[in-house]
C-alpha cells in the first residue's frame, strides 16, 4: 500500500485554490539607477514627429513642441516607474509572515523605498509643470530647458531614491515565497540544519526541495501539499536554525523563525540523535528551546529522525532527556526510508485540530487505509 497521493508536482510557489501569494501583491521589476538613466536617454533620443497644426505653426514653435514631447515622455516614464514603487502595499497591510519576509529580504528598507519613490514622483511632477511651460515658451532655448529638466530629474532619482537597488531583493522574495492557504492546516518542519527536514517534506508532499549532506542546503521556506481526498495539508520546509540568540541569526535562519512566529501552524521539530549527527543533541535541544520560545511549547511535536542509523541505546538515552524536558510523547522516524513519516503528518493534524478547533483529522481518518502504510508517496 502506498501513501497518499501528492496534489500535483509543481514549483515551490505553486498556488492552490484559496492560497494567497505574495507575488499577487508585489509585482516589481529589478531596477537600478543606471538602468533608469539608460532608458531615459533612449526615450529622449527617440524621434518625435510633430504634425503641422495651428498650435505648432512656425519652426521655432515646432522645435519647442518637439522638446516638450520628448521631456514629457521622460516624465511619464519616471512617474510610471517610480509610481509603481510608491504604490507598493505597505508592510503593515501584508500578512505578518509575508511582511517579515519582505523586511528580512530588504534589510528593513522596503517601506523607505516606497516613501522615497512617492516623494520623488511629487517633486518631479512639480518640476514638470514648471518646465513644460518653460520649454514651450522657450523658443530657441527649448532644447536647453528640456535637457536641463532631464538632468535634474536623473539627479533627483540618483540622490533621493537611495533604496532603489533593493527592488532586486523585493522581486526575488515575491517570486520565490510560496503561496499559503491560511484556511488549510499547516505543518512547519523545523530543526537544526541536516536533521532531514527536506527529506521528510519531499517524502510526504508535492515539494521536492534539494537535500544534501551540507548544512543550509535549504535557504528559503518551501510549501508542499499532501492531498487526501478533500483534505489538503500544507507542509512547510524551512531552513535550519543554529544555536544562537534570535538577534544574531542570519537572513536564512530568520525566515524559518518568521514562519514559526507568524503562521497558524503546528511545528514538527526534527532531531538527529545519531552518533554522527552534524550537531550534538545538546545543541539541538537548545535550539528546541528557542523554537518553543517562538511558537509555544504546546505547538511542538518532537520527532527523532534518522532512527535507521541511531543505536537503540543512544536513542533511549535521548528520549530520556526529552522526557525530562516535558516531552512525554515523541515520534521515531526515518525520513530516508519512509518509516513513520505519515504517522508524523497524522500526529501534526491531530494537534492542529486540538489547538485551532478544526476537524481535519476526522476527514483524515477516512483515508486511514492509505496513511497507515509506512512507505512514502507512490512516486518514491
Ligand atoms: N540515515 C538517514 N539519513 C537521512 C535521513 N533523513 C535525512 N537523511 C540524510 O541527511 C542529510 C540531510 O538531509 P536534508 O533533508 O537535506 O536535511 P535538512 O534538515 O533539510 O538540512 P538543511 O537544509 O541544511 O537544513 C542528507 O544526506 C539525507 O539523505 C534519515 O532518516 N536517515
Ligand atoms: Mg533542507
CA distance between the termini of the chain: 13
Q: How confident is the model at residue 223, as a pLDDT?
A: 97
Pocket probe for ligand 1: among 12, 188, 193, 194, the residue whose CB has the most ligand atoms within 8 Å is 194
Residues in the ligand 1 pocket, defined by CB under 6 Å: 191, 193-199, 211-213, 215-218, 239-240, 305-306, 308-309, 334-336
Q: How confident is the model at residue 3, as a pLDDT?
A: 44
Q: How confident is the model at residue 16, as a pLDDT?
A: 53
Residue 44: how many CB atoms within 10 A of its CB? Answer: 17
Q: What is the DSSP string of 11-69?
A: -TT---TT-B-HHHH-------HHHHHHHHHHHHHS-------GGG-SHHHHHHHHHHH
Among 149, 173, 197, where does a domain finish?
A: 173
192 C-alpha to center of ligand 1: Å?
Answer: 11
Residue nearest to atom 16 of ligand 1 (CA): 211
Shared-domain flag, residues 261 and 351: yes
CATH number of the domain to which 362 belongs: 3.40.50.300
Q: How confident is the model at residue 375, as a pLDDT?
A: 44
- pLDDT tens, residue order, the chain (380 aa): 344 443 333 333 334 568 999 999 999 999 999 999 999 999 999 998 877 766 656 777 888 999 999 999 999 999 999 999 999 999 999 999 999 999 999 999 999 999 999 999 999 999 999 999 999 998 889 999 999 999 999 999 999 999 999 999 999 999 999 999 999 999 999 999 999 999 999 999 999 999 999 999 999 999 999 988 778 999 999 999 999 999 999 999 999 999 999 999 999 999 999 999 999 999 999 999 999 999 999 999 999 999 999 999 999 999 999 999 999 999 999 999 999 999 999 999 999 999 999 999 988 777 766 665 544 333 32
Shared-domain flag, residues 126 and 193: no
Pick from 318, 320, 285, 316: nearest CA to 300: 285
Partnered with residue 282 across adjacent β-strands are none
For residue 192, what are the domain limits?
181-371
Residue 245: how many CB atoms within 10 A of its CB? Answer: 7
Pocket probe for ligand 1: among 336, 374, 375, 376, the residue whose CB has the most ligand atoms within 8 Å is 336
Domain count across the chain: 2
Shared-domain flag, residues 244 and 282: yes
- Identify which ligand lies nearest to the alpha carbon of 222: 2
Rg (CA), the chain: 28
State how far the Cα of 28 lies from the Cα of 179, in Å rounded to an integer: 17
Shared-domain flag, residues 194 and 156: no
Q: How confident is the model at residue 120, as a pLDDT?
A: 98
Shared-domain flag, residues 97 and 121: yes
For residue 363, being part of any structural domain is answered with yes
219 C-alpha to center of ligand 2: Å?
Answer: 8
What are the residues whose beta carbons fall under 8 Å from the beta carbon of 31, sequence distance 6 or more?
A: 81, 85, 164, 167
Q: How confident is the model at residue 90, as a pLDDT?
A: 98
Shared-domain flag, residues 312 and 356: yes
State how far the Cα of 215 lies from the Cα of 357, in Å rounded to an integer: 36
213 C-alpha to center of ligand 1: Å?
Answer: 7
Partnered with residue 271 across adjacent β-strands are 304
Shared-domain flag, residues 272 and 252: yes
State how far the Cα of 66 lies from the Cα of 176, in Å rounded to an integer: 44
Residue nearest to atom 22 of ligand 1 (CA): 193
What are the residues whose beta carbons fall under 8 Å from the beta carbon of 292, sequence distance 6 or more?
A: 300
187 C-alpha to center of ligand 2: Å?
Answer: 15
Q: How confident is the model at residue 102, as a pLDDT?
A: 98
- Identify which ligand lies nearest to the alpha carbon of 193: 1
Pocket probe for ligand 1: among 190, 199, 217, 287, the residue whose CB has the most ligand atoms within 8 Å is 199
What's the whole-model pTM score?
Answer: 0.89
Pocket probe for ligand 1: among 188, 193, 196, the residue whose CB has the most ligand atoms within 8 Å is 196
Shared-domain flag, residues 167 and 194: no
For residue 74, being part of any structural domain is answered with yes
Shared-domain flag, residues 332 and 196: yes
Residue nearest to atom 1 of ligand 1 (CA): 306
For residue 377, being part of any structural domain is answered with no
Name the H helices within the chain: 22-25, 33-45, 59-86, 96-106, 110-136, 142-160, 167-176, 197-204, 251-262, 281-295, 312-324, 341-356, 360-365, 368-371
CATH number of the domain to which 150 belongs: 1.20.120.1190
Q: How confident is the model at residue 376, as a pLDDT?
A: 39
Amino acid at each position: 500500500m502506498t501513501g497518499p497521493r501528492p496534489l500535483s508536482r509543481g514549483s515551490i510557489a505553486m498556488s492552490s485554490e484559496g492560497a494567497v501569494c505574495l507575488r499577487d501583491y508585489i509585482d516589481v521589476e529589478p531596477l537600478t539607477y543606471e538602468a533608469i538613466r539608460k532608458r531615459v536617454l533612449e526615450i529622449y533620443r527617440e524621434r518625435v514627429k510633430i504634425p503641422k497644426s495651428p498650435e505648432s505653426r512656425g519652426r521655432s514653435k515646432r522645435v519647442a513642441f518637439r522638446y516638450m514631447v520628448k521631456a514629457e515622455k521622460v516624465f511619464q516614464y519616471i512617474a510610471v516607474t517610480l509610481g509603481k514603487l510608491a504604490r507598493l502595499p505597505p508592510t503593515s497591510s501584508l500578512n505578518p509572515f509575508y511582511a517579515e519576509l519582505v523586511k528580512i529580504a530588504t534589510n528593513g528598507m522596503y517601506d523607505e523605498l516606497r516613501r522615497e519613490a512617492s516623494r520623488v514622483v511629487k517633486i518631479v511632477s512639480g518640476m514638470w509643470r514648471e518646465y513644460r511651460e518653460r520649454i514651450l515658451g522657450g523658443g530657441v532655448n527649448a532644447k536647453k530647458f528640456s535637457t536641463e529638466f532631464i538632468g535634474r530629474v536623473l539627479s533627483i532619482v540618483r540622490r533621493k531614491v537611495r533604496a532603489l537597488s533593493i527592488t532586486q531583493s523585493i522581486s526575488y522574495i515575491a517570486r520565490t515565497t510560496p503561496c499559503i492557504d491560511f484556511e488549510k492546516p499547516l505543518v512547519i518542519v523545523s530543526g537544526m540544519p541536516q536533521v532531514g527536514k527536506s527529506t521528510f517534506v519531499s517524502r510526504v508532499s508535492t515539494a521536492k526541495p534539494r537535500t544534501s549532506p551540507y548544512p543550509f542546503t535549504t535557504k528559503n521556506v518551501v510549501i508542499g501539499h499532501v492531498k487526501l481526498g478533500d483534505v489538503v495539508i500544507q507542509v512547510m520546509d524551512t531552513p535550519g536554525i543554529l544555536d544562537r540568540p534570535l538577534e544574531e541569526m542570519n537572513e536564512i535562519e530568520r525566515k524559518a523563525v518568521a514562519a514559526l512566529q507568524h503562521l497558524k501552524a503546528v511545528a514538527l521539530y526534527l532531531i538527529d540523535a545519531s552518533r554522527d549527527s552534524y550537531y550534538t543533541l545538546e545543541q539541538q535541544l537548545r535550539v528546541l528551546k528557542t523554537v518553543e520560545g517562538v511558537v509555544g511549547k504546546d505547538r511542538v511535536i518532537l520527532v527523532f529522525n534518522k532512527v535507521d542509523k541511531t543505536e537503540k541505546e543512544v536513542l533511549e538515552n535521548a528520549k530520556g532527556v526529552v522526557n525530562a524536558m516535558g516531552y512525554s510523547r515523541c515520534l521515531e522516524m526515518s525520513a530516508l526510508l519512509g518509516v513513520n513519516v505519515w504517522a508524523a503528518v497524522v500526529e501534526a493534524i491531530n494537534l492542529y485540530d486540538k489547538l485551532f478547533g478544526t476537524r481535519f483529522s476526522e476527514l483524515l481518518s477516512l483515508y486511514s487505509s492509505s496513511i497507515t502504510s509506512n512507505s512514502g508517496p507512490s512516486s518514491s
